[in-house]
Amino acid sequence: MSSDSLSPEAAALDPERLPRHVAIIMDGNGRWAKKKLLNRVKGHEKGADAVREAVNTCREIGISYLTLYAFSTENWQRPRMEVDALMALLKKFLHTQAEELRANNIRLHTIGETDRLPDDVRQALEHVLSQTRHNDGLHLILALSYGGRSEIIHAVRGIATEVEAGRLSPNTIDETLLSGKLFTCGIPDPDLLIRTSGELRLSNFLLWQLAYAEFHFTPTLWPDFGKEEFVRILADYQQRERRFGQVDSDQAT
């Protein structure tokens, strides 16, 4: 998109130093609702608006991949009424956003144990995945029924099966092989992780993939997270020096 259509803050970002992949732990919907004396479901509904704004911001600025932690494996343990409401909200999001995703050249992906989703939600999800599979703009990845530990276990079991069958030698197992067995196979690791609500933990999210990501924690509750703060975080990211375990050129001499 032309820089003329961006805010001055967004236009000031260096397009050569943007993160290729941003991952977000969208936290704080329930606390947002509680502060406003509303039902928790209202917080999730408001959070869906923040999802749309984050997606549009990435598309406008030129970020290639956006992964959103939408529903964890642990979230199944929440009260049945809340889980049902979240599934209904996900289904509504898929139905209402399908055409917009397609029109804006956004490709939808999912990671996680999606076979655990209700049949109607899974059918709606598969429909949007199919409708957007040829899009080559922003890649939007929804982590649904996702857990980092279960993902790694799933990958290790797959490798063990191949070793047992004699199709794979243990000596050939390396980071590239394991990465290829993860749900995120084919998707670059995140460059930047953002977590809202002030919590300072990963909560079982992308444990392998975030090894060298930059982290940014904000006290803002997810429903209040908007484009202006997103751009400020990107500007902060561009001031960091990413070393990937190495030393900078000044220290090396």
Active-site residues, by number, are: 27, 75
Do 108 and 128 contact (CB within 8 A), yes or no? yes
Do 210 and 150 contact (CB within 8 A), yes or no? no
Do 66 and 138 contact (CB within 8 A), yes or no? yes
Per DSSP, 191 falls in state S
**Distance between CA atoms of residues 29 and 81, nearest Å:** 16
**Distance between CA atoms of residues 38 and 30, nearest Å:** 9
Q: CA 181, 139, 64 angle in degrees (round to 5)?
A: 105
